[in-house]
Amino acid sequence: DQQVKQNSPSLSVQEGRISILNCDYTNSMFDYFLWYKKYPAEGPTFLISISSIKDKNEDGRFTVFLNKSAKHLSLHIVPSQPGDSAVYFCAASANFGNEKLTFGTGTRLTIIP
């Protein structure tokens, strides 16, 4: 039972344009969401997070949007750069202190120069 879904296994975007990565979840108890970025042969690295009390969080070129009613979140990267080419994982957690993260299966983003 996959509670966090990333339905696009891959995405290609031209350098300088906007990259939009999507994530859906089914568990209404999730109240904290994170995006991780992973390069080959490395561990995932934390990118940005959002709490369910917000609908948007921005950090430089990265913005995460949360639509609780649709159980959907998205990561926007503007402008996209070649170094952004990586696999992006969406993750969710149910309650503060639980610390158990449920991950999606990832989306491979390729930035075309």
Partner 1 sequence: DTAVSQTPKYLVTQMGNDKSIKCEQNLGHDTMYWYKQDSKKFLKIMFSYNNKELIINETVPNRFSPKSPDKAHLNLHINSLELGDSAVYFCASSPQTTYEQYFGPGTRLTVT
Residues that bind partner 1 (CB under 8 A): 32, 34, 36, 41-46, 49, 87, 89, 93, 96, 99-103, 105-106
Residue with tokens 């290609």: 12
Tell me whether residue 47 or residue 111 sits nearer to partner 1 (CB atom): 47
Tell me whether residue 24 or residue 106 sits nearer to partner 1 (CB atom): 106
Tell me whether residue 36 or residue 84 sits nearer to partner 1 (CB atom): 36
Measure CA 68 to chain center: 15
Question: In sequence order, what are the beta bridge partners of 4?
Answer: 25
| Segment (H or E) for 35 | strand 32-38
For residue 18, what is the DSSP state?
-
* Residue 80 CB, nearest approach to partner 1 (Å): 22
